[in-house]
Amino acid sequence: MTLRLDSPLSRPLTPSRPTETSVPRAAVANAVVPPAVADTFQQAAAADSQAGVLPLSQRIFAKPMIKFGAESTVSAKVTVGVNVDLSGLVLDLDLQHPDRGDLVVKLSSPSGKSVTVSNREGGGVPNLTGPFDLSQAFAGEDSRGEWTITVENAGSHAEGMLDNWAVAVSGKTQARPVPNGQPVAISELASRFGWKQGEWQTRLLAAADAKTGAPDGKVTVAELDGYLADPDDLAFLTSSAMQVQRDAVKAAGGVKAVSSFEDGWQRDLAARADGDGDGQLGGVELNAYLTTVKAGSASAQTLWMPDQKAAPFASRIADHTGEGDLLSTGGLPDQSLLLTKDYMRISSGSPNRVPNWVSYQLSAADVAERPAGVVRPSDFKTDPELGNLGSFDRDYTGSGFDRGHQKPARDSVNQESMDESMLLSNIAPQTPELNQAAWEMLEQATWELTQATRGKSTIFTGGLFLDPQGKPLPEDQKQWIGKDGKKFVAVPTHFFKAVLVRLPDGTQKAYAYLLPNRKDLPRAETANDQVLLLQQNRVSVDRLEALVGEDLFAALGDSDEARLEAETAPSFDGFDRERFQVASLIWPAPGTTGSEKSLPPIRRED
């Protein structure tokens, strides 16, 4: 069974522990935990699918650690993303206080219904702990949204602490719709994913629908792609569109008359960016305006839609329509969780707690438009969508393994994307000998090649568990890491990267690597050993798919798929090899090996 956890909204990922607070009676201090899943799809037997509903349960955990004083009230929130009819709800609670008889504890649902969990009961007994079965009290409620626990300390002396709590919801949710190639109603998508009217998701879909000339309240991926490539307005602007406008100004010698731009969005953009209103758009003016757009300024009246953000959004819609989708695979394995983030899709393997794979798009336009000042955070975050099903940073501490990004931090197109890359659902244990050497070289070479070709790369990265013969590794032979020596996170024996590059002329090329995750790998200061290791571990996509058990580029046409995925060593010619030195080492010019060069400095972000 494959569970799909789709998180559609772009929300902050950082505030995991609020400031401790003590406030007067009836005032409330909120401990906001990052929102969790906003929709859940689950594959099931045909009979269940026809019934239209599926059983589902999820536990959302928080550790706010809020102190409260005498005669004060505190509260904390968790966000449940799954939308079930709530036939069951259990509250787990760890509330520290010397006398539970002083405490009034209430739980409120997203609709505002409030249920008293304890009303000064058990006087003289310390602490209040769960679980509390509140299934009957909240039966039939919509589970999705913010659940709030409120603790009132009516005592006049003692202090206490709301240490941790969780809500475990269960019920039935709609089955995943069967894609039929037909447009999907925007209202249906909004209902499933919790998108509200006026949010960017519904506005983007409405704009794509309007571009058809006969809007019907429905949308397809083709309509969405068509709008983003040639918008009727400037409500949304992709990195590719920004590059088109920059190229037009550059081709004109650095200044171009607004009236000479192509009629439509390009001329409208030129008019908006013409800061001094003289009818001439210069490169400095254009850059200043686009910088404002990318900063999210309301005055720009335009929302930046990086290509990397548009791809998983379209992928989510393709789940409904069945259109070609390069970020999804054919044949998802059993016991996998499929998460859709704002900038990537993740197939998370349970109980290994490492990604089966992470897919995302990297475009040369996004790289060129990446704003200045994007900073890699210093810490990693547990994925709120996975909770206890995911890994924790403590599992890696002292393990001897790096926290290896599957989607590299380097490939982040903005700060939001960078923050998302630090989720531990995007991380797997890699040896330093792999992560900091050949793997790093492969990541940088892919990043450089995408720029050099001015193309768009669809990238799958993940871990495998293989024995020396390339067979699935028996469970009892897996290596594990975890806090206090517990077996919590499995260590893959190999890591793979498969890349499909689409060039500006429509040409496509694919390549794949499968590298061993060992501590005896070369870490030389010259490129020779690392290049040799990469050459020895280059495989065809076909071979990799046989090991992964999934069709990685299922959206390719049959003839293209057969040709591209059978090739082991595609060539890439015509790019500036002196500028992109790491890429030139891995894909050398014809007649050279590339290994005679010394290893250039690596722009390390991962």
What count of residues does the chain have? Answer: 606
Exposed / middle / buried, residue 508 (Cβ in 10 Å: 0-12, 13-18, 19+): middle
**75 DSSP β-pair partners:** 150
Instruction: Please answer whether residues 361 and 327 qualify as being in contact, where contact means their C-beta atoms are separated by less than 8 angstroms.
Output: yes
Residue keyed to tokens 């990922």: 13
Give kind and range of the element (H or E) at residue 373: none
Instruction: Report the distance separating Cα 521 and Cα 433, nearest Å.
Output: 6
Q: Which of 97, 157, 320, 405 is catalytic?
A: 405
Instruction: Return the bridge partners of 4, or none.
Output: 41, 338
Q: In the chain, what's the furthest Cα-to-Cα distance? A: 85
Residue 339 DSSP code: E
b/e for 467-502, b at 16 or more Cβ within 10 A? eeeeeebeeeeeebbbeeeeebbbbbbbbbbbbbbb
| 405 has catalytic annotation | yes
Strand-pair partners of 148? 77, 108
C-alpha 466/C-alpha 409 separation (Å) is 27
User: By the 8 A CB rule, do 249 and 283 touch?
Assistant: yes
Please name the residue ranges forming H helices in 411-553: 415-421, 432-433, 439-453, 527-536, 541-548
The DSSP-derived string for 455-483 is -EEEEEEEEE-B-TTSSBPPGGG-EEE-G
How is residue 567 written in tokens? 């090739």
Q: Is 592 left (phi over 0), alpha (psi -120 to 50) or beta?
A: beta
Which residues are catalytically annotated? 405
